[in-house]
Amino acid sequence: MGSENVILKNFDKKNKNTTETKILARNITRTFTVRDSEKRGFKKFTAIKDINLEVSSGEFITIVGPSGCGKSTFLDILSGLSKPTSGELYIDGKLVTGPALDRGMVLQGYGLFPWRNVRKNIEYGLELKKIPKKDRREISQKYIELVGLNGFEDRYIHEISGGMKQRVAIARSLAYNPEILLMDEPFAAVDAQTRETMQEELLKIWEKTSKTIIFITHSIDEAVFLADRVVVLSSNPGAVKEIIDVNLPRPRKLGEIKNTPRFNDLSHRVWKLLHGINDENITNTATASL
């Protein structure tokens, strides 16, 4: 690529205008050196290989794939916590060389500080940015209200539920105003009812903030419900198998959309990709059984 600061654009046919490319991953490969127990030495293990992905500003992307296919490895590279063995990653046309405050992360394990109350957890990133105390309080209150934690500001982490902990983690990531939100199975640890509530709450937050979101999940329904596009990865090494345009109307309510033909067709398509099934295989199997 010529200049690292080149302005990257793509044409949005639906809106008939240009939208900025926020994230551009080019041929991202990550290889690790691991212990070879059989030969009592070391060997190379490729977690992801030649991943290419272009994400527009404000887009909601979900990533699904078999366990161990490198989804979290790719997210670590997006965050800047890990570097690709080969390939390049650009954000706003600039080569990513490490972590930065333009990206926020929300993990499955919450990553909250038990010695801080809800408000102080949310204000942590603001403290790192040297935001004055008065301003920190105003900003944290805004996000406390946004994620529905009014009345719980002074509670400590052990005093709130799993769903509330995840709300704190989301609010903390949003409070210092990153442009990109990276989410690694954030709702996996909560019960099914809370998970559905959190999915709808996340969409409301996304619609209000216009953040670019990359969301990893093992749930096919969750991937389809949330996303503008679903990226399906293959098994090791992880590579992009297919990118599916969801094209479901927004705003979305899970109860209204989950049983629609379009939602079911999309979910089934993702399921077939994950299980290596295509229409030709189904036809051949049916014919052989006759």
Q: Angle at Cα 22 formed by Cα 32 and Cα 140, nearest 5°?
A: 95
Are 57 and 19 in contact by the 8 Å Cβ rule? The answer is yes
Is the residue at 257 inside a domain? no
Q: What is the dihedral sign for C-alpha 44, 47, 53, 55?
A: negative
Round to whole Å and give the CA distance between 219 and 240.
Answer: 17
Is the residue at 123 inside a domain? yes
Q: What is the mean pLDDT of the chain?
A: 86
62, 40, 41: which is closest to 53 by C-alpha?
62
Strand partners, 18: 11
Is the residue at 142 inside a domain? yes
Q: What is the mean pLDDT of residues 248-259?
A: 92
Is the residue at 136 inside a domain? yes
Q: What is the pLDDT of residues 136-170, one digit of tens each?
A: 999 999 999 888 899 999 999 999 998 899 889 88
Is the residue at 120 inside a domain? yes
Residue with tokens 């559905």, as numbered in its chain: 196
Is the residue at 26 inside a domain? no
Q: What is the pLDDT of residues 160-200, one digit of tens each?
A: 998 899 889 889 988 888 999 999 998 887 888 888 988 99
Task: Give me the domain span that covers residue 170.
Answer: 110-177
Model pTM score? 0.83
Is the residue at 165 inside a domain? yes
List, in sequence order, the alpha helices (H) in 99-159: 118-122, 124-128, 133-146
Bridge-based pairing of strands 86-91 and 94-95 is antiparallel
Round to whole Å and give the CA distance between 139 and 132.
Answer: 11
Is the residue at 148 inside a domain? yes
Number of domains observed in the structure of the chain: 1
pLDDT number for residue 279: 57
Q: What is the pLDDT of residues 14-37, one digit of tens each?
A: 333 346 899 999 999 999 987 777
Paired tokens of 123 = 């204000």
